[in-house]
């Protein structure tokens, strides 16, 4: 029997609650498709940081590196200053494990949950491929004359040909494999960021023309992209963009698909350890009440299965989520689902078995 070692980081706030439901569903689907998942828990997050003053020990990074995949619940604690856990855990893992892709599908499962007028599941079905290791996120820059009236703060966007090209190649391959409209849109700002997106644009067309001639190449400025997400989301198939723009447009994407309760993503190193997460965060005000929506975590579990090569099992989870979303769930928002967190997990699990 095939077996996979999976690291689990429930993390902070509602992270452990949604992760529990994710694992419940994964175990049911694994039994059905005859493979085994061996879960190993890692106690990382705000609570641990408050006790030990260490966000992420080096040894944990090395341990995590041995796993093909990590399931992450959420990182973020109300008693820890913003930035410490984000940079110390989430961004550090993305960088050190070279998860250079942040894959964020935007798919509406049921018309009722779309905030856009006259748009349905056929209109909202696209994927954002966000570069995840470079851009404004590298921490390059600094202060000069800090705290004086002459203070200067510089925050640089790093775009390497290698980093950009591997992201573009992943996006082209993904568009090919997805086989929907065979259209890849580069989202940038070539009219203002004339160095960074000049490199992106040249690499985009060079790589596309040479190695992916059947994939149609489109370009959209980031500001126009946000407009079209709302006005004509059906125009998009796969979008590729840099780290910062990807961060921003995927929150809008999450709203268009029904909210944080359903939005999942993967931090992907195609050759190493990838990390899957519901993108909603730790939601401290709902912690421990059993009211948070676990569907985003469950969908991230399906993405994990797809990544390790269990595609059929992945599709089975997603189809069960679609069915439950359409037939049972009253709202995708916390406290309004019509069911508790664990009841939603049970619904998906029994749909599968
Ligand atoms: C995300 C989050 C992170 C990001 C934060 C928590 C550092 O917003 O995963 O989109 O900016 O990438
Ligand atoms: Mn974000």
Please, are residues 88 and 56 in contact by the beta-carbon 8 Å criterion? yes
Kindly state whether residues 231 and 150 are assigned to the same domain: yes
Regions of the chain short of the pLDDT cut 50: none
Distance of CA 96 to the CA centre of its chain: 17
> Quick check: is 129 in a domain?
yes
Ligand nearest to the Cα of 281, by number: 1
H helices of 287-340, where?
295-308, 311-327
CATH number of the domain bearing residue 39:
3.40.718.10
Same domain, 193 and 269: no
Atom 8, ligand 1: which residue's CA is nearest? 247
Whole-number Å distance, alpha carbon 28 to ligand 1 midpoint, is 30
Whether residue 139 is found in the same domain as residue 192: yes
Q: Is residue 35 part of a domain?
A: yes
Residue after which a domain boundary falls, among 256, 291, 321: 256
| pLDDT one-digit tens code per residue, 87-108 | 999 999 999 999 999 999 999 9
Residues 292, 293, 297, 298, CA torsion sign = positive
| Length, in residues, of the chain | 353
Which pLDDT score is estimated for 2? 96
User: Could you tell me if 244 and 145 lie in one domain?
Assistant: yes
Q: Report the nearest-CA residue for atom 1 of ligand 1.
A: 247
Q: Which residues surround ligand 2, an ion (CB under 5 A)?
A: 247
Q: Is residue 291 part of a domain?
A: yes
Residue 138 · residue 110 · CB < 8 Å:
no
Is the C-alpha dihedral spanning 186, 188, 192, 195 positive or negative?
A: negative
**pLDDT of amino acid 159:** 98
Q: What residues contact residue 294 under an 8 Å CB cut-off, 6+ apart?
A: 17, 18, 20, 21, 22, 278, 341, 344, 345
Determine, yes or no, domain membership for 172.
yes
- Residue of 80, 91, 267 with the most ligand 1 atoms within 8 Å of its CB, for mutation: 91
Rounded to the nearest whole angstrom, what is the distance from the C-alpha of residue 128 to the centroid of ligand 2? 13
Among 230, 256, 282, the domain-final residue is 256
Give dist(CA 148, CA 27) in Å, integer.
Answer: 57
**Residues 289, 216: Cα–Cα separation, whole Å:** 47
For residues 27 and 88, the answer to whether their CB atoms sit within 8 Å is: no
Kindly give the number of the ligand 1 atom that is closest to the alpha carbon of 265: 9
Atom nearest to 251 CA in ligand 1: 10
Q: How far is CA 315 from the centre of its chain?
A: 17
Burial 56-78 (b: 16+ CB within 10 A, else e): beeebeeebbebbbbbbbbbbbe
- Residue of the nearest CA to atom 5 in ligand 1? 86
Question: Atom 7 of ligand 1 has which residue's CA nearest to it?
Answer: 86
Nearest CA to ligand 1 atom 4: 247
- The range of the structural domain enclosing residue 172 comes to 125-256
User: Are 246 and 133 members of one domain?
Assistant: yes
Closest CA to 253 of 243, 264, 244: 264
Q: How far apart are CA 264 and CA 104, in angstroms?
A: 6
The pLDDT value given to residue 313 = 98
Residue 353: the pLDDT is: 93
Beta-strand relationship, 274-278 and 101-107: unpaired
Tokens (6 digits) for 232: 């004509």
The Å distance, Cα 135 to ligand 1 centre, comes to: 13
In a domain, 33, yes or no: yes
Total domains, the chain: 2
What stretch of H or E contains 230? helix 222-231
Tokens of 183: 């259209």
pLDDT in tens, 280-307: 999 999 999 999 999 999 999 999 999 9
Q: With respect to residue 107, please indicate whether it lies within any of the assigned structural domains.
A: no
CB atoms within 10 A of CB 198: 13
Quote the pLDDT of residue 28: 98
Residues 165, 277, single domain; the answer is no
Q: Is residue 117 part of a domain?
A: no
CA distances 172 to 96, 185, 251, Å, are 24, 10, 23
Q: Distance (Å, rounded) from C-alpha 317 to C-alpha 351?
A: 9
**Quick one: pLDDT at residue 216?**
98
Give the pLDDT score at 198: 98
For ligand 1, what atom is nearest to the CA of residue 277? 9
131 and 213 share one domain: yes
Residue 27 contacts residue 37 (beta carbons within 8 Å): yes
Cα torsion angle, 222, 226, 229, 232, sign: negative
Rounded to the nearest angstrom, the distance between the alpha carbon of 77 and the centre of ligand 2 is 16
Tell how far the Cα of 247 is from the centroid of ligand 1, in angstroms: 6
CA 101 – ligand 1 centroid, Å: 13
Q: Which of 90, 94, 100 has most ligand 1 atoms within 8 Å of its beta carbon, as the pocket-test mutant?
A: 90
pLDDT for the residue 175: 98
On whether both 199 and 284 belong to a single domain, the answer is no
* Sign of the alpha-carbon torsion through 9, 316, 270, 251: negative
Domain end, chosen from 206, 234, 256, is at: 256
Cα(240) to centroid(ligand 2), Å: 16
Residues 131 and 237 reside in one and the same domain? yes
Q: Is residue 133 part of a domain?
A: yes
State whether 220 and 320 are in the same domain: no
The answer to whether residues 248 and 265 belong to one domain is no
Show the ligand 1 pocket: residues with CB < 6 angstroms. Answer: 86, 90-91, 247, 279
Query: Same structural domain for residues 294 and 351?
Result: yes
């Amino acid at each position: 029997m095939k077996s996979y070692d999976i690291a689990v980081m429930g993390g902070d706030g509602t992270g452990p609650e949604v992760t529990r439901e994710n694992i419940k569903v994964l175990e049911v689907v694994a039994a059905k498709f005859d493979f085994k998942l061996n879960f190993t828990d890692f106690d990382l997050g705000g609570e641990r940081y408050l006790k030990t003053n260490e966000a992420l020990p080096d040894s944990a990074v090395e341990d995590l590196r041995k796993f093909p995949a990590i399931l992450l619940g959420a990182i973020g604690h109300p008693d820890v200053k913003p930035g410490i856990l984000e940079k110390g855990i989430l961004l550090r893992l993305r960088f050190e494990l070279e998860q250079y892709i942040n894959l964020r599908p935007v798919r509406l499962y049921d018309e009722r949950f779309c905030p856009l007028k006259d748009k349905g599941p056929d209109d909202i079905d696209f994927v954002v491929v966000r570069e995840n290791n470079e851009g404004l996120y590298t921490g390059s820059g600094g202060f000069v004359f800090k705290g004086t009236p002459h203070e200067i703060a510089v925050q640089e966007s790093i775009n390497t040909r290698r980093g950009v090209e591997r992201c573009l190649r992943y996006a082209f391959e993904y568009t090919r494999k997805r086989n929907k409209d065979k259209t890849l849109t580069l989202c940038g700002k070539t009219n203002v960021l004339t160095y960074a997106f000049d490199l992106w644009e040249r690499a985009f067309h060079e790589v596309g023309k040479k190695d992916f001639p059947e994939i149609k190449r489109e370009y959209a400025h980031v500001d126009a992209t946000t407009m079209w997400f709302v006005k004509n989301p059906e125009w998009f198939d796969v979008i590729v963009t840099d780290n910062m723009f990807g961060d921003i447009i995927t929150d809008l994407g999450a709203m268009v698909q029904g909210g944080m309760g359903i939005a999942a993503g993967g931090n992907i190193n195609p050759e190493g350890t990838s990390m899957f997460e519901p993108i909603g965060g730790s939601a401290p005000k709902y912690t421990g009440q059993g009211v948070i929506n676990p569907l985003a975590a469950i969908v991230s579990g399906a993405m994990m299965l797809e990544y390790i090569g269990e595609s059929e099992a992945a599709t089975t989870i997603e189809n069960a989520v679609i069915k439950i979303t359409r037939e049972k769930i009253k709202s995708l928002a916390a406290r309004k689902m019509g069911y508790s967190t664990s009841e939603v997990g049970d619904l998906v699990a029994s749909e599968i078995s």
